[in-house]
Amino acid sequence: MLLKNKTIVVGVTGGIAAYKALELTSKLIKSGADVKVVMTKSATEFVRPLSFQSLSKKPVAVDTFDEPNTWEIRHISLAKSADVFTIVPCTANVIGKIASGIADDMLTTTVMATKAPVLIAPAMNTNMFENPIVQNNIEKLKSYGYEFVMPTEGRLACGDTGQGKLSDINSIFDKIVCLALSKNTDLKNKNIVISAGATIEKIDPVRYITNHSTGKMGFALARAAYQRGANVTLVAGSNRCNKINGVNQIDIESAEEMKTAVMTASKNADIIIMSAAVADFKPNSFSDEKIKKSGADHITLELTRNPDILKELGEKHGGTKTIIGFAMETQNLIENAQKKCAEKKVDFIVANNLRTEGAGFGTDTNVASIVSQDGSTIKLPKMSKLELADIILDKALECSKNCKIL
């Protein structure tokens, strides 16, 4: 349970996105958090407190003077209990009040009294969001250490299109986890480059060669690293994952493009993880025009070798940066992984067998072994890709302590 023993105070203000705070509350509860909800009066016009009360199994605070227990001052005890205080969604009005030191209801008095990290997820009409007064208030709050998950662009409730839509709940949740867990700081100031997904090698304007990778393992690594405070660059090939707010994602198609992006990003990296399924071969040439069948029964597609990015990384940065590779095998898993580890000069290889139940493409779980440069092998049980990501990052951090500083 990711958020066991953590108290998250969720403030809800009056906007059309208020209902989305229900989804967040439910997600936090499922992660083991103790959730306490505070609503402004106008928020209760959009969603009834009873909905939050049913999910959190706790009374919802709305009115400052409605003290359930006479021996405690509610806004102060709520403020003190928070490990993270989040306001989802947060209106321009409430941002303005906090920035100006106005505390005139339960939510604003509580947020003013808290010493916990405060995470604000604004949602409002584009013109309101772009208003320099709102922007200045946001900048002011940032300068005081308030954290933000910025709204995204999209079609808004008023019919306008632009920035102002509440960021997706998963991104807000990730940021809360990041703030709530002290373990996350262990990767603070670390630059981590991760590759994920499949490369696409074009044959002609219509066809291409690729593989079954969905990018789930690489994205799980990026998410876990970000949650632990790292600066993450994710070089993403073809994938079936959602973008992660806060992670610098560089989208590429071919192995050559992946190589350029990874090599460039690696210059400032401390840890590099190649979890992408890179095509070993690409068509000899790309046909500008669609290849016609022209009555042929057989055709031959000639392929040529792609660069081995991991090998080049090992040759360039081995010993000075922590480099991690993956190996997906269908037989002789450990022997093949040991060979790859030595040949590519990497710190360790995360090896998995495509045929093992719970491992492989598109699954949310993995069954992996960690094969290290020093010859040691750790066989891990089946676990979620996010859990495995944390184990890989623990080991990477350990290795990075032994890297030579240039």
Residues lying near ligand CTP in the complex (CB under 6 A): 255, 274, 276, 278, 280, 306, 308-310, 325-328, 340
Q: Please state the closest distance from residue 211 (CB atom) to ligand CTP, in A.
A: 9
Residue number with CB closer to ligand CTP (149 or 337):
337
Q: Please state the closest distance from residue 273 (CB atom) to ligand CTP, in A.
A: 8
| Cross-sheet strand order for the sheet of 147-148 | 34-39, 7-12, 84-90, 118-122, 147-148
Reduced to 3 DSSP states, what percent helix, strand and coil does the chain have, rounded to the nearest 5? 35, 25, 40
Cα–Cα distance measured from residue 86 to residue 64, given in angstroms and rounded to the nearest whole number: 18
Q: Please state the closest distance from residue 382 (CB atom) to ligand CTP, in A.
A: 20
Q: Please state the closest distance from residue 88 (CB atom) to ligand CTP, in A.
A: 37
Task: Catalytic residue, from 90, 158, 178, 241: name it.
Answer: 158
Closest CA to 43 of 19, 16, 13: 13
Distances (CA, A) of 26 to 42, 82, 154: 22, 17, 24
Closest CA to 32 of 71, 83, 74: 83
Query: Do residues 238 and 157 touch, judged by C-beta distance below 8 A?
Result: no
Length of the chain: 406
Residue number with CB closer to ligand CTP (11 or 215):
215
Residue number with CB closer to ligand CTP (123 or 194):
194
Cα–Cα distance measured from residue 148 to residue 178, given in angstroms and rounded to the nearest whole number: 13
Residue number with CB closer to ligand CTP (12 or 359):
359
Residue number with CB closer to ligand CTP (320 or 332):
332
Determine whether 399 is an active site residue.
no
Kindly report each contact of residues 391-395 with a partner whose C-beta sits within 8 Å and lies 24 or more positions away, as own/partner.
392/221, 392/273, 392/324, 392/350, 393/187, 393/221, 393/224, 393/225, 393/228, 395/348, 395/370
Give me the numbers of helices (H) and strands (E) for the chain, helices first please: 14, 21
Q: Tokens 């290290």 identify what position?
A: 372
Neighbours of 16 (CB within 10 A): 16
Q: Please state the closest distance from residue 310 (CB atom) to ligand CTP, in A.
A: 3
Q: Please state the closest distance from residue 235 (CB atom) to ligand CTP, in A.
A: 11
Tokens for 87, please give them: 């306001």
Partner residues linked to 84 by β-bridges: 8
Cα–Cα distance measured from residue 398 to residue 57, given in angstroms and rounded to the nearest whole number: 41
Q: Please state the closest distance from residue 360 (CB atom) to ligand CTP, in A.
A: 12
Residue number with CB closer to ligand CTP (105 or 308):
308
Residue number with CB closer to ligand CTP (77 or 363):
363
Question: Hey, what amino acid is at 381?
Answer: P
Q: Are strands 368-372 and 248-251 parallel, antiparallel or unpaired?
A: unpaired
Q: Which residues are catalytic?
A: 158
